[in-house]
Amino acid sequence: MESKMLVTPVQSSKRFANKACVSRNSLNLFRSEKNPSPSCFSFGSPKSYARINGLLVLSLCEDSSLMENQIALNEEQCAFAKTEIGNELTVERFEVNGNAEKIEELDVDLDIINHPEGKVVDAKHLVKKLKKSFCGQMMHEGQTVQFRYGKSSGTFKVNRIILASNGARTSQGMLYKMTKMLFLSKNIRFFNQAVSIRRIFQRTMDLSEVERELMTLGLGGMSEIFRKIYERVLITRTLDLELCQKLNKSHVKGILLFGPPGTGKTLLAKTIAKILYAEEFEVVDGPQVLSSWFGGTEARLRALFNKAREDSRRYGEKSGLHIIIFDELDSIARKRGITPGETATDRIVSQLLTMINGVEDLNNILIIGTTNKKELIDEALLRPGRLLPIEVGLPDEEARLNILRVHTEPYERRGYFQDVDLREIANMTDAFSGADLAGVVNTAFSDALGRTNSNDGIIHESQTRIYQNDFIHGVREIRRANQPTKDEDWDALV
């Protein structure tokens, strides 16, 4: 059943219910006996759902002030359904059974209007409140939902939906009482939020699924590295707290990502922080920590751990996870004892060790260091339980292909490609790093833009075409930059 209806603004008392309001007669028309009647509905008919403009599935509730051809939506619902107040749209009955699966995990960006700065939110309590309001409703990736929070209000945007049936990522699903909700926020800190080891991390991993997931995060060819990080570092953080204590199991405190320049170590570190839904993570450039005055560097290091220490004292094991990323760790953590007497380097390493395994043992931290020179790092930092060394090497051919796909996806999606064979490019880029491959793509795109002529001086998208030869030229340019050689040798190189 499909109807044409006129959009009208929702009443203020119902704007935070995330439902579409219709007249009583319309409500009955859209009702289906095939739909469930979950006890968690707050008001309105649990058996009435509608698909709006073919894009947004909403639960329906009654508004006696509306005529039969009217439907009331809030501004966020209008935006997602690509309509406006006063417009006409299509509304069709939606049957949940067979068309909607339950959500296991819902990851959202959350914002609360006028939230007091520094006030920490109990994530467990907020999840309970949101599930009470929205249990039994359909959620869509990219959808923004308004909600009431005490005397204030807020919104959350759905980033990711994981199904309960098979752990797959999907574009829509039904929120139910067992759904796990996880929050990210630019201005709000949470406690009581479980560490999210997402479905890409499991012992029976499908590596192709892992690779697809990492590609959506801007990485390719690193599924095996992620598997190793999960199994050796992160898995203890998925254990129930009581079980962890009974087993006397402590967490590995960090990871050292080492390998050649340009292999994506820093991006990998940031991605780990995002996947773990950590508190706002710190990225520290090693040389910037150094101070010219005595004791200054050690003081700066201690300050980096202040938030984690404060949360640990206040919330104990319920504290959120804090991640500190040290880029170029070798610049501040070199081997001690090379020169007689205590040096600044010795003091810095000692301070780091105190932060990692000191008197006040912090279980709510994960340190990620990156370096091109693992051999320079003090060995005490690499002992079991501290920083686990993980090599991030140059990508093989399959990994190079995946990286190229990541960087070229926007161009291919917009129709710029003309007879491009990325596998051939992956085959001819042996010993290229991820950064080198990004350079190849950028060069190819620049060549395409340079070839686009326009009488008005503006480059028109419809005229932009990227050819295989553009990529081959990009390969040659990156080789020229990395390995200067004679011009006559170029044909032998590619």
pTM: 0.64
Q: Which of 23-32, 273-282, 355-364 has the lowest mean pLDDT?
A: 273-282
User: Which of these, 178, 167, 160, 173, lies nearest to 99 by C-alpha position?
Assistant: 173
| Distance (Å, whole) CA 342 – CA 298 | 14
Strand-pair partners of 334: 377
Alpha-carbon distance 92 to 1, whole Å?
5
> Which pLDDT belongs to residue 314?
79
Range picked from 24-28, 191-195, 231-235 for highest mean pLDDT: 24-28
Tell me the residue type at 177.
K
pLDDT of residue 200: 46
Lowest-pLDDT choice from 155-169, 187-201, 243-257: 187-201
- Residue 198, both tokens: 């997402």
318 within 8 A of 406, measured Cβ to Cβ: no
Q: What is the pLDDT of residue 41?
A: 43
Q: Identify the pLDDT of residue 457.
A: 61
Strand extents, DSSP E, 164-273: 169-170, 172-174, 180-184, 189-191, 254-258
Asked if pLDDT for residue 233 goes beyond 90, the answer is no
Measured over the CA atoms of residue 61, residue 65, residue 68 and residue 74, the dihedral's sign is negative
Question: Is 50 exceeded by the pLDDT of residue 43?
Answer: no
pLDDT band at 254 (very low <50, low <70, confident <90, very high): very high
CB 416 within 8 A of CB 465: yes
Q: pLDDT category, 220, cuts 50, 70, 90? A: low
CB 56 within 8 A of CB 50: no
Band of residue 89 on the pLDDT scale cut at 50, 70, 90: very high
Q: What are the residues whose beta carbons fall under 8 Å from the beta carbon of 154, sequence distance 6 or more?
A: 110, 111, 112, 113, 115, 146, 147
Tokens standing for 457? 């001086």
Structural domains in the chain plus CATH codes = 2-94 (2.40.40.20), 103-194 (3.10.330.10), 207-391 (3.40.50.300), 397-482 (1.10.8.60)
The predicted structure's pLDDT at residue 313: 84
What's the confidence (pLDDT) of residue 291?
66
pLDDT in tens, 420-437: 999 999 999 998 988 899
What average pLDDT does the chain have?
83
d(CA 494, CA 481): 14
